[in-house]
Structure 1
Amino acid sequence: MRFLIVLLLCIPTLTHAQDEDAPPPPPPCSDPAYRQFDFWIGEWNVTSNGQPAGTNRIRKIHGGCALEENWQGAGAGGISGSSFNIYDQANERWHQTWVDAGGTLLQIDGGLNGGAMVMSGERPSPDGSGRSTHRITWTPNPDGTVRQLWEASRDGQTWSVLFDGLYTRVASGE
């Protein structure tokens, strides 16, 4: 009986020692897929057709699990907006939710396609006559700039450009 009591007292210690030998679980969001959109992180001046379009700041948040975007359009009438971007590991897709000061809500998802991040989704057409598909493509360029091309289509065949911007990093010290 004495041996059984000693054995029972040792079991928690043996279990604890085994737990200490096990490798720690990887940190949340450590899968390389969470880094696919890191090329967009930074402080940016954005131009469209060679003219200032606005500024944008993209940063990692929540321990690197998500990206937060803060846009400010150029000029007095420049609209502000924000997005949250996250890799959905369960569905193996990126997701973005965009909202702006004009009341726009855009929810898109997708992933890497040929080195560019491509996300799309549907929303009501501005004139209320149905739905349109929005597609945004972020392409990292060899010189460190990023091109953002935002297009919309009512039929999935014919696309109209809503925004074609070139992101240039703000130099350190600016």
Structure 2
Amino acid sequence: MKVSLIVPLLFTAACMAVPAGSVEAGQGSASQTVATPPAPPPPPCQDEIYHAFDFWLGNWDVYDPAGNLVGTNSITSAESGCLLIEHWTNTGGGTGQSYNFYDPGTGQWRQLWVSAGSIIDYSGGLTEEGVMRLEGEIHAQGTGAVAPFTGEWTPNDDGSVTQHFRQQSTDTGEWSDSFVGRYVKQAKE
């Protein structure tokens, strides 16, 4: 009885010791083949287009055209460089945030701004001059009013960035400045 159990056990042990697919045809013996693992995929959002707005990254003091401080803004990179997140605080304590990203489906940059006063959703891209220009709509919170809106971010030679917002009047069709600010990098502590 013991002999009849030993043979099947030895056969089973021998089969378990040889990995499946490791016996090469025509060789009659077991040899280990080493498969090359597939190359890992490249990191996301590494193409140049995903970094077209990186000139806006940093911690900024923001000034109006008269040189008065109007707020601070922190722009950070997130999600492996796929997203820029804005955190704005004006000198009166008002805040707002935006998500900024390149949308490969449309081939455009997009910003979605949300504050207690408005929601802005617009898209676009870099002009030939290197200005980030976005076009869309501003939606007033509470009233539901909607108007065409544009935003431009211009990197300046001194490292500052000029931000220029314009809004179209739904009554007259006239465009007017909604905000003009000069971003100056905060001193590193």
Q: TM-score range by the shorter chain?
A: 0.7 to 0.9
Letter in 2 for 1:96: Q
Q: Does 1:115 align with 2:127?
A: no
Q: For residues 52-91 of structure 1, what are the alpha-carbon distances to aligned partners after superposition, in whole Å with 9 as ceiling and x for unaligned?
A: 11000000011111000000001xx341000011111121
Instruction: Among all aligned residue pairs of Structure 1 and Structure 2, give the percentage whose two residues are the same amino acid.
Output: 38
- Give 2:35's aligned residue: 16
Residues in 2 aligned to 1:125 and 1:80: alpha-carbon distance in whole angstroms? 15
Does the Cα contact within 8 Å between 1:106 and 1:121 map onto a contact in 2? yes
Deviations 1:147-173 (A, max 9, x none): 000001147973200000000000111
8 Å contact from structure 2 (residues 55, 155) kept in 1: yes
> In the aligned structure 1, how far is the partner of 2:142 from the partner of 2:104?
36
Q: Does 1:63 align with 2:77?
A: no
Structure 1: unaligned runs, 5 residues or longer: 1-5
The TM-score with structure 1 as length reference comes to 0.81
Cα distance in structure 2, aligned partners of 1:82 and 1:153: 22
Q: Is the 8 A contact 1:85 1:96 kept in 2?
A: yes
Hey, what's the Cα distance between the residues in 2 that align with 1:172 and 1:130? 41
In the alignment of these two chains, the number of paired residues is 161
Which consecutive residues of structure 2, in runs of 5 or more, have no partner in the other structure?
1-17, 24-31
3-state DSSP of counterpart to 1:143: coil
Cα contact 1:46–1:52 (8 A) shared by 2: yes
SS at match of 1:46: strand
- Number of the residue aligned with 1:168: 184
Cα 1:101–1:129 change in 2 (3 A) is closer
Q: CA RMSD in A?
A: 2.7
Distance of aligned partners of 1:14 and 1:29 in 2 relative to their CA distance in 1, 3 Å threshold: farther
Q: In the alignment, which of 100, 103, 121 is matched to residue 115 of structure 2?
A: 100
2:119–2:140 Cα contact (<8 Å) kept: no
